[in-house]
């Protein structure tokens, strides 16, 4: 599972730009003194290879070092037509914002490390994390989306800010619309709030305006650092419903509209 999640996370960057992964290079740090027979390593590599194969990518080799802590990922290359590259800097006023996966992996994985996460909640989070973002890539290209980014360590807040700043627009996010992993709301509190979440909140604070009195728990999901999260897609309003329907047909069951793009305001992000 660890290997599958790491691979899906690495492949996501190519999908977020509308590309097709072609090769992957293993990057491994491993504490062989703790596992001399390298049983965990074997399983990780098998999981990663399975996801790369599912993506149509070939593993061309790798780099492995001894490390006191497990580190595993991939350097991925892909192909894309130069006239069909999607960036996170081309959202347009009037667009709607679609998110393809539920939020909350940070809370779930942190609780799991503390042996405080219900098994069904962990299972749902893992199923989400191993799902490839080729679903989102294919659907957003079909819908002729204007911009996209994958939601990973900076959370929806950080990656949303980068889209707004790069596109010179303002994103309006409706917290009540955010899709959440089943059972994750019960874990969205200390001690399961990660340091990355606090860093994400501090990072966007100068560029954020909170309107009304939003649910503080849902606000935590806005900041929560994701592992192998979904795609945030900016698409013309008239194509939004069709995009969501297409995403769900392809298997992105949590896909939904979470906000809109408006002309640039004094802040980059508005949360309601």
Find tokens 């994958």 and name the residue: 150
Residue 27 lies in a domain: yes
Q: Mark whether 131 and 75 lie in a shared domain.
A: no
Find tokens 């004094």 and name the residue: 266
pLDDT grade for 194, boundaries at 50, 70 and 90? confident
The Cα–Cα gap between 203 and 45 comes to 35
Q: Mark whether 189 and 234 lie in a shared domain.
A: yes
Q: Which residues form the domain of 60?
A: 2-79
Which CATH number belongs to the domain containing residue 155 in this structure?
Answer: 3.90.650.10
Q: What's the total number of domains in the chain?
A: 2
Residue 246 lies in a domain: yes
Q: Mark whether 181 and 266 lie in a shared domain.
A: yes
Q: What is the largest CA-CA distance in the chain?
A: 58
Q: Mark whether 148 and 219 lie in a shared domain.
A: yes
Residue 89 lies in a domain: no
Q: Mark whether 71 and 151 lie in a shared domain.
A: no
Q: Mark whether 120 and 31 lie in a shared domain.
A: no
Residue 215 lies in a domain: yes
Six-digit token string for 55? 């993506």
Nearest to 160 by CA among 248, 259, 251, 255: 259
CA-to-CA dists, residue 38 to 1, 9, 31, 182, angstroms:
16, 23, 9, 34
Q: Mark whether 35 and 110 lie in a shared domain.
A: no
Q: Mark whether 100 and 190 lie in a shared domain.
A: yes
Q: Mark whether 42 and 115 lie in a shared domain.
A: no
Residue 111 lies in a domain: yes
Q: DSSP label at 239?
A: G
Residue 85 lies in a domain: no
Which residue, 79, 112, 129, sits at the end of a domain? 79
- pLDDT one-digit tens code per residue, 243-271: 999 999 999 999 999 999 999 999 999 99
- pLDDT one-digit tens code per residue, 135-193: 999 999 999 999 999 999 999 999 999 999 999 999 999 999 999 999 999 999 999 98
Which CATH number belongs to the domain containing residue 70 in this structure?
Answer: 3.30.1330.10
Q: Mark whether 33 and 107 lie in a shared domain.
A: no
- pLDDT one-digit tens code per residue, 73-129: 999 999 999 988 999 999 999 999 999 999 999 999 999 999 999 999 999 999 999
Which residue, 50, 79, 108, sits at the end of a domain? 79
Angle between helices 155-167 and 216-223 (to 10 degrees): 70
Examine residue 187 and say whether the peptide bond preceding it is cis (omega within 30 degrees of 0): no
Q: Mark whether 57 and 105 lie in a shared domain.
A: no
Residue 34 lies in a domain: yes
Residue 264 lies in a domain: yes
pLDDT for position 265: 97
Which residue, 79, 104, 120, sits at the end of a domain? 79
Phi, psi of 169 (to 5 degrees): -135, 180
Q: Mark whether 49 and 136 lie in a shared domain.
A: no
Average pLDDT for residues 203-229, to the nearest whole number? 96
């Amino acid at each position: 599972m660890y290997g599958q999640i790491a691979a899906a996370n690495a492949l996501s960057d190519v999908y977020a730009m509308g590309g097709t992964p072609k090769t992957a290079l293993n990057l491994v740090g491993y504490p062989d003194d703790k596992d001399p027979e390298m049983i965990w390593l074997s399983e990780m590599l098998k999981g990663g290879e399975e996801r790369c194969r599912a993506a149509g990518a070939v593993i061309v080799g790798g780099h492995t070092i001894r490390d006191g802590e497990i580190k595993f990922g991939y350097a991925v290359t892909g192909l894309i037509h130069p006239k069909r590259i999607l960036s996170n800097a081309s959202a347009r006023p009037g667009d709607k914002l679609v998110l393809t996966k539920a939020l909350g992996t940070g809370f779930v994985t942190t609780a799991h490390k503390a042996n405080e996460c219900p098994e069904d909640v962990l299972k749902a989070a893992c199923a989400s994390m191993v799902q490839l973002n080729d679903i989102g890539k294919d659907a957003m290209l079909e819908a002729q989306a204007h911009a996209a980014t994958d939601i990973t360590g900076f959370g929806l807040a950080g990656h949303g800010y980068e889209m707004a700043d790069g596109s010179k627009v303002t994103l309006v996010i409706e917290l009540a619309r955010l899709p959440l992993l089943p059972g994750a709301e019960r874990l969205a509190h200390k001690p399961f709030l990660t340091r990355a979440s606090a860093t994400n909140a501090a990072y966007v604070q100068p560029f954020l305006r909170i309107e009304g009195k939003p649910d503080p728990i849902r606000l935590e999901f806005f900041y929560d650092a994701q592992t192998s999260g979904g795609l945030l897609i900016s698409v013309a309003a008239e194509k939004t419903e069709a995009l969501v329907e297409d995403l769900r047909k392809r298997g992105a069951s949590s896909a939904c509209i979470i906000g809109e793009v408006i002309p640039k305001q004094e802040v980059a992000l508005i949360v309601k």
